[in-house]
Amino acid sequence: MGLLSAVVNGILMGGIYGLLALGLTLIFGIMKIINFAHGAFLMVAMILSYWLWRIMGLDPYLSIVVIIPLMFVLGYLTQRYLIKPVLDAEKDVREPIGALLLTAGLSVAIENFVLMVFGADYLMAQTSYSGASINLSGLSISVPRLYAFIATLIVTVLFYQFLNKTELGRAMRATGQDRGVALLMGINVPKVYGIAFGIGTAIAGLTGIFLIPFYYAHPTVGEVFITKAFIIVVLGGLGSVPGALVGGLLIGLVESVAAQYMTATWTAILVYFAFLVFLLFRPSGLFGSRYEW
Amino acid sequence: MALLEIEKISVFYGEMCVLRDVSLQVERGEVICVVGANGAGKSTLINTISGVLKPRSGKIIFNGEEITHLEPYQIVEKGIIQVPEGRRLFLNMTVEENLLLGSYTPRSRKKRKENLEKIFTLLPRLAERRKQIARTMSGGEQQMLAIGRAMMADPQLIMFDEPSLGLAPKVVDHVLELIKNIAAQGVTVLLVEQNVHHALELSTRGYVLENGTVVLSGTAHELLNNPHVKTAYLGL
């Protein structure tokens, strides 16, 4: 039963990783930017959600209504006023890395800003359901993880529909495929970039909100998650939506099951090693060659 | 009033001058051909009109309104579209998605249904292949789709950048026929083409671009009989 429990909880946690990776893969797929600040945005949402709960007694899940629009705006403005000038300046550079360095710097800046304002404490919203679990004849399923997993599935499906069925989603995919021609077809590319970065950031925020009832937030909590998200995105195939979900589930599963047999340090080594071996055989990731924007 | 009026534009790539004091006029309903060797600045001209490149000096006026400093998407909305060199389709998308993307701007989106029907009548092949991924089509079909996509923008001026490049001679004839058809529908055409003889034959007037300046202009008939054009571009 220990193993089954590990499998189930691994998959649930994997869903959360997948959700975070979804935001990252979206930003990469459309803008071809690797957003190093993605984890920092996750952390900001965790901290905000925590304090809204702590001060106003707002349930973390309800704080979605406030925090998600806020994260979207934060992402949009980040693209508009920080990333866009760098992209414009590097328009004719063959291999631009300015935006990548910028997001890495931004991540450090955000982390230290939060450290300064909120301190380095480990914070978790102890809600009524934080420690709750469902017992299915001995199999124990953590309730907040289950909620997070369900949210991931819903968001992934909605997002996939958005990309494939809506005018804006189609324009986003077109921009990801050929930015220059998207421009020629009358798509306002900078605006599409802003919206993509906004949605990506909002997804990072959503992940944070679903974590805060059972995971401790601190200024550098994003780093734990961003590393995994990078691995997931590459594993699933850069820019692939289903890849993000499947990659997330896989990493969550391996991590959780491996933890049954060895210490956490060894788990990490195993995960990274398996990932490297996988890349040797399939460098484009699981869905990389089949699914493109 | 001319539909498109280009007044002495100069365009630079860094310090290199690609177009120098180029002036050009396109009247409503004309088919204008811009002739020139590789590197003469033909694509630069089209991309400057589209707003992708900005001239260092000079003005571009469309329908009496200056568009020199507008963004590319605003220029499409005004009614100027281009069929880019090498087609540049959204290769991982279906035929239908490519066409729908052609009518992304608010003005053309309103006439989407009507224009889609028009294009399917003009190019029945595209209607048959609605759900096919663009990548899997032949070069000729891709060129048709690229033209269809541009027509979905409901343009007043359509610019073609080397539409016959890399196509079999039979397909080239089809493409040129299609351009003639489009012009007959009242859409003004600006055509950049290396296939000078064919291009001039379906044009009303033409300009010869050499090293970034206009060296000759005139009616298609005049240019076809011009000794310089004959030796340099027609191989006669």
Report whether pLDDT(B54) > 60: yes
Nearest CA in chain B to A165: B97
A174–B76: do the CB atoms touch at under 8 Å? no
Residues 6+ apart with CB under 8 A from B151: B81, B102, B115, B118, B119, B122, B158, B182, B187
If DSSP codes are grouped into helix, strand and coil, which group holds residue A115?
helix
B82–A173: do the CB atoms touch at under 8 Å? no
Class of domain A2-281: mainly alpha
Amino acid symbol at B81: I
B71–A188: do the CB atoms touch at under 8 Å? yes
For position A289, what pLDDT does the model report? 54
For position A258, what pLDDT does the model report? 87
Length reported for chain B: 236
Pick the closest to residue A184 from A196, A174, A198, A169 (CA basis): A174
Question: Hey, is the C-beta of B90 within 8 angstroms of any chain A C-beta?
Answer: yes
In whole angstroms, what is the distance from residue B144 CA to residue A272 CA?
48
Domains of chain B: 4-90+156-232 (3.40.50.300)
Task: Find the range with the poorest average confidence among A247-256, A270-279, B22-31.
Answer: A270-279
B88–A178: do the CB atoms touch at under 8 Å? yes
For position A291, what pLDDT does the model report? 43
Which range, A191-195, A229-233, B228-232, is most confident? A191-195
Which sign does the torsion angle of CA B172, B177, B182, B184 carry? positive
Residues 6+ apart with CB under 8 A from A288: A236, A237, A238, A239, A240, A243, A282
- Please report the ipTM that was assigned to this predicted complex: 0.92
A184–B72: do the CB atoms touch at under 8 Å? yes
Residues 6+ apart with CB under 8 A from B132: B94, B95
| Banded pLDDT at B128 (limits 50, 70, 90) | very high
Pick the closest to residue B150 from A68, B42, B142, B3 (CA basis): B142
Task: Find the range with the poorest average confidence among A254-258, B225-229, B232-236.
Answer: B232-236
What is Dmax (Cα atoms) for chain A?
62
Amino acid symbol at A149: F
Q: Specify whether the CB–CB gap between B130 and B85 falls below 8 A.
A: no
Pick the closest to residue B130 from B105, B98, B101 (CA basis): B98
In whole angstroms, what is the distance from residue A61 CA to residue A206 CA?
9
Report whether pLDDT(A293) > 60: no
In whole angstroms, what is the distance from residue A18 CA to residue B21 CA?
55
Question: Which residues of chain A does B104 touch, with a Cβ-Cβ cutoff of 8 Å?
Answer: 167, 171, 185-187
